Structures are given as C-alpha cells and as structure tokens.
Structure 1
Amino acid sequence: MSSPCYLAIDGGGTNTRARLADGSGRIIGEGLSGSSNLTLGIETAGTAIAAAGDIALKAAGLGERARAFVHAGLGLAGANVPALAEAIGGFAFGYRTVAVASDAVSACLGAHGGGDGGILILGTGSQGLALVGGKSTAVGGWGFAISDEASGAILGRAALRAAILAVDALCPASDLTRAILARFHDEPARAVLWAKSATPRDYGSFAPLVFERAGRDSVADFLIADAVRSIVAMLERLTFLGAPRIALMGGLAKPYRPFIPARYDKILVQAKGDAMDGALMLARQGADAAAVNSGVTG
C-alpha cells in the first residue's frame, strides 16, 4: 500500500483498543490487546499497543509492512507524565508518525470534536480536564490513594467504611450498610483481611449498591451528597479554566447526573465522540505536523 492510514489507540489499565481508518476516515480495522497503562512499564505498554495495531492492520487485510504508512495517535493512561509520554513516543513501532497524549486529552478531543471544552470522567477513578485554545489542564486524577474524589473506588470505600462504623454503632445502620456487610458474611474481620489486598476496582464494586438505594436510604443519600460536592468543585474549576461546555464520561456519569445541581444544565453536554475519535484526531494532527516540518503541504 502507498496511501496513509490513521491508527487510533486508546490504552488503559484493562486493555488497549485500536481502530484503523483510511484517508477518507472510513474505519477499516479494529484490534484489542492487553493493558498499555504507561505506569506498568514502557516495554509492556509498547508491546500491547503494537499487538492491537497489528490486529487492526490484519483486519484491514494489511500486513506488517503497512506500518510504514500508518500515522498513529496514542491516547494512553500515564501519558500525563512527560517522561513516560516521551519514552513511548520513541518506542520502535515502525509507524510513520506517532503522536502521544493522555487518555483524558484524547477523550476530551473526541467529546468536543476537537473544539474547546472540558470533560469530567466518573468511573472507577475520576479526573477532570479542560482543553482550551490547544492547552490542556487536568483537574484531579492523581490516583485512588490521594485523589479521585467522586470516583467509584472512593464512593465504594466510603460505603464500606460506613458499614464498619455501623457495626460499632458509630454511624446509623441502614439497608445499604447491611447489604455491604453481607458481602463479608456479616463478619467485619473478613473485610479487614479483604482490604489488605483490595484494588480500586474492588472498592468500586460497592458503588452500584449506593445508587440502587438512593432516595430511600439515609446513608446512601449522605454518601452521594458528599461525592456530588466534589463533582461540583471540579465543575467549578473546569469552568474557571475556560471550558465553555463539559461532558460527563465514564461508567458513573449516568448514575450521578440526576444529583448534579440544575444550575450546571447549561454547560453539561452530551459527548460528540469518544476517546477513539480523539485518538484519530491526534493521529491526523501528528501527520499534519510532520508534513509541515518536512515542507510538504496539502
């Protein structure tokens, strides 16, 4: 082949998605592989990205030699760390160009079709990002241990804490606290052992129980109200940074939406696209930049 193609990569802690488009934007192949969170190591991430890309190429009926005509846009977890972004950008993929950004940046590009805007990701983790005038500014997203307010992991941990406090009559018992304690066969000691190795995803598994009981359980209502205060703080910050519109994203965006004050209705919008759409934009931006640098115009 001699025509350029554009490869979108959306890489996180669970898996790596690849989507290949031809010059007209038509999707011609997709691929899936393991985690490419850069904090797991550049070799691990690079191998997963290359594998997903090769699967997409194969699905399009193209071989490995077609890599030389591929412009890649990588939206990756961990790419907000400059040293890691630079390292993965230098990985030996064999692509014609490689543009790297965080997964939050690619998600924001996709959400607003490349225009100015912000996103608030509410999933197992949480992070806000404003993209205004080509400049991106992150809000939160520093991880479960020290940040990620309103995330599923933090909400779930708060629910578990409430259940344990209720055992000692230090907070009210409720249907929610009893349901959570039942997960441990009504034995708090089991929760202690479980917590020693629990991951953010494990804590996040309790979040649906909180929303299921919203409006009819005082503990659930208190936890949601506390989380919404964090959401409001992030929305205010994104607005201050100049984001004219904000898209809620992530698995908890829909459950949280009814609890967000109505005054934000005017700035909260549906995302136009997703992180894969944003990664394709990154790929095209990388190709355009390379063309300019080489003196080629379009």
Structure 2
Amino acid sequence: MTIAGDGSPDAVGRFLAVDSGGSGLRVVVGEVGSGRRSGPLSSGEPVRTGARGIDAGHLMEQLVPMVRTLADKAEAFGVAEVGTAVIGAAGLATLGDGLRAELPDALAREFGVRTVALAADAVTAYVGALGARPGAVVAAGTGLIAIGTDLTGWRRADGWGHLLGDCGGGAWIGRAGLEAALRAHDGRDGGSGPLLTCAEEQFGPMPGLPGKLYPRPDRPAVLASFAPRVARCAPDDPVAAGILRAAARHMVESAAAVCPATGEPQVALTGGLFKMGDPLLVPLHEELAKRLPHARLVAAEGDPLDGAVRIARDLAAGALTLPCDDVMLSVASSKGQGDHF
C-alpha cells in the first residue's frame, strides 16, 4: 500500500528521523529529495516508561533541543519546514499507546510536522537492514527481537523485555554471565571462575552486586554491559561459550518463527551485539544453517536509524510500500502550522 499523510507527496522540506532505544535517542534531520542530512545526534539517555507506557513527554523533552540543534546546522539546505517525521521506538508494540495518542500533535506544535510515522524499532531495524524485501531480521542489542514480512503483514517474535524475554540479547547474555559468576562465588555447580573474576573487576565484590543493579532504572543496559566480558571469556571458558551457544539458539528460534516459509527470503543480523564477533557469530551461523536452510543470510545494509530515514523519505514521496497496521507501523496526519524554528 502507498501512503502519504495528506494524500500528496511532500517533495519540498525537511524530514525528521528518530531511533529511540535502550541507549537513548539518535536523531537525523534531512532534506526530502536529496541525500543531504544533519546528524546523527545522540542523547545517551533512554526514554522513560510509565503508567501509559513510553513517556511521550520525556521523549519530547530530549527531542526538541536535539532537533533545533540539527535544524540550525541544516540551514544550508535552503528549506525550513519539517513536514515528515518517523519515530522508531523500542517497546512501541506493547508500550506505545501514549506515543500514538500524544506524539503527532506534539510534533506538529513544536516543529510544524504534518505526517508522522510511528514504527517499532524492529521495523526500522528491518528496513535499515533489508529495505522493502521479504525476509527476516534479528535485531540484537540490549534486547532482542526478530521481525519478518512477506510484504503483506508483519510477524514478530520476542522483544518482550529483559524480565519476560529478549532471549539471547545483550541483557540476557549479561545476566546469564553474572549468574555464572555468582554460582562460582557461592560454590554452586555451573559457575565460572573467569566470569567471576570479570564480574568483580567490573562491579566490585559480588555481595554488593544486587544493591548496585536492582535499583537502577537502566538495569537492562547495565546487564548488557557485561555481555562483552562473556564473549571475551568464551574461547577459554566452556561456561561462557555455552551461554553464547544458548543465545544463538534463542536468536534462531525467533528468526524461524517470523521468516517466510516459502521462496528465498533474506535474513539479516543487525545491532551492536553482533560486534562481539566469532564467539557469537560462529554458533549463530551454525544454527541458521540448521533451522533456515531455505533462507539466504545477507549483510545488513544499515541500522535502525537508516531505516527510519528510508521510511521518512519514502513517506514524504508518497511511495511507502511497507505493510501498515496499528501496532508495528502506523501513519498519522496533523495540521502543523508555520515555521516553528
């Protein structure tokens, strides 16, 4: 389906593309119809969640000064109006009601935005990696989600957060590594001396770990910060290697749940977790060959912010062909007035 917010392409003006994830906001302002862009600019502070899910007010508190900074840098573009915005947000599928209700009007008031696409971060990860082609993408950073499409609808697996899922993601690996460290500290079976040493180097004595971890609002990110230690131990520590093999199995289970079963779909991996290299990638490739022999593993073309940029440009041109729904990707129109910069 082809969508433009008011039924006509926005061929002149700027677009805004946002990636909101576990590490904060990344923002780009670009010119429609050209490759010129300003950014990315990063906040480093994750958007809060509250009783209504993702806190739209907190997102706007961070976004407004970032957009104004980028817009000032983009004055050389020769256009002043931001007509289209795409917000890719972690947790949108399950915690996005507040954003859907409040963000389009807030963006219209602040920047004059007329057309807003709200996308799950899995969708922007997919589009950044594969574009508008059938297949599946595993997006793994602090959390983990798999998303697939045959271009008629979206399928997702996991992405349920660090308490209920995100199996195989950075927080999952870090938590498993810290559990193995605590087992070694206690003298229980399944412990890892090398991981215990790493945990004490990073967090201090183990009896103090719960007090340092549990009160933190960024607990998933803190857990994920230990995942690289697990990878570094894996070549010489069977416990750490087993954690990464289990993570690979979880990832491929999710990919298999969403990948089109027919044709020759493409599968891509995206996210900072894969920078851990062979200790994770070798077992992951083995699992993919077993579970998805009909699919072709390809390199991701870009990241979630690149996906948000691609969606924004297509939306502004009236050429968005991705499936839209009320959960994974939705488009809303607002009547923003004037130049708010």
Establish whether TM, by shorter chain, passes 0.5. yes
State the partner residue of 2:55: 41
- Is contact 1:73–1:280 with CA below 8 Å preserved after alignment? yes
Deviations 1:30-57 (A, max 9, x none): 2525347373511111233333322222
How far 1:140 sits from its partner (Å)? 0.8
| 1:149-164 correspondence to structure 2 within 5 Å | 149-164=167-182
State the partner residue of 2:338: none
**TM-score normalised by structure 1 residue count:** 0.84
The structure, 1 or 2, with the larger RCO (C-alpha pairs under 8 Å, 6+ apart) is: 2
C-alpha separation between the residues in 1 aligned to 2:87 and 2:202?
41
How far 1:58 sits from its partner (Å)? 1.0
Q: 1:52 aligns with which of 33, 49, 66?
A: 66
C-alpha separation between the residues in 2 aligned to 1:184 and 1:247?
32
How far 1:280 sits from its partner (Å)? 2.2
How far 1:246 sits from its partner (Å)? 1.7
C-alpha separation between the residues in 2 aligned to 1:251 and 1:148?
14
- Is contact 1:184–1:191 with CA below 8 Å preserved after alignment? no
C-alpha separation between the residues in 2 aligned to 1:143 and 1:108?
19
**TM-score normalised by structure 2 residue count:** 0.74
5+ residue gaps, structure 2: 1-10, 290-294, 321-332, 334-341
C-alpha separation between the residues in 1 aligned to 2:161 and 2:258?
19
Kindly tell me: are residues 136 and 25 of structure 1, through their superposed partners in 2, closer, same or farther at Cα, counting changes over 3 Å?
Answer: farther
Mean Cα deviation higher: 104-113 or 72-81: 72-81
- Say which SS state the counterpart of residue 178 (structure 2) adopts: helix
- Is contact 1:105–1:131 with CA below 8 Å preserved after alignment? no
| 1:1-298 correspondence to structure 2 within 5 Å | 3-30=12-39, 32=41, 34=43, 35=45, 37=47, 39=49, 40-61=54-75, 66-67=80-81, 69-80=82-93, 81-87=95-101, 88-91=103-106, 92-93=109-110, 94-183=112-201, 187-198=205-216, 199-240=219-260, 244-255=265-276, 256-262=280-286, 264=288, 267-289=296-318
Mean Cα deviation higher: 47-56 or 139-148: 47-56
Kindly report the root-mean-square deviation, in angstroms, between the aligned alpha carbons of the 2 structures: 3.1
How far 1:82 sits from its partner (Å)? 4.8
Question: In the alignment, residue 299 of structure 2 is paired with which amino acid?
Answer: Q
State the partner residue of 2:7: none
- Say which SS state the counterpart of residue 60 (structure 1) adopts: helix
How far 1:275 sits from its partner (Å)? 1.9
C-alpha separation between the residues in 2 aligned to 1:72 and 1:227?
35
Question: In the alignment, residue 105 of structure 2 is paired with which amino acid?
Answer: G
- Is contact 2:137–2:268 with CA below 8 Å preserved after alignment? yes
How far 1:181 sits from its partner (Å)? 4.8
Kindly tell me: are residues 124 and 241 of structure 1, through their superposed partners in 2, closer, same or farther at Cα, counting changes over 3 Å?
Answer: farther
Indicate the percent of aligned positions where both proteins have the same amino acid: 28
- Say which SS state the counterpart of residue 146 (structure 1) adopts: coil
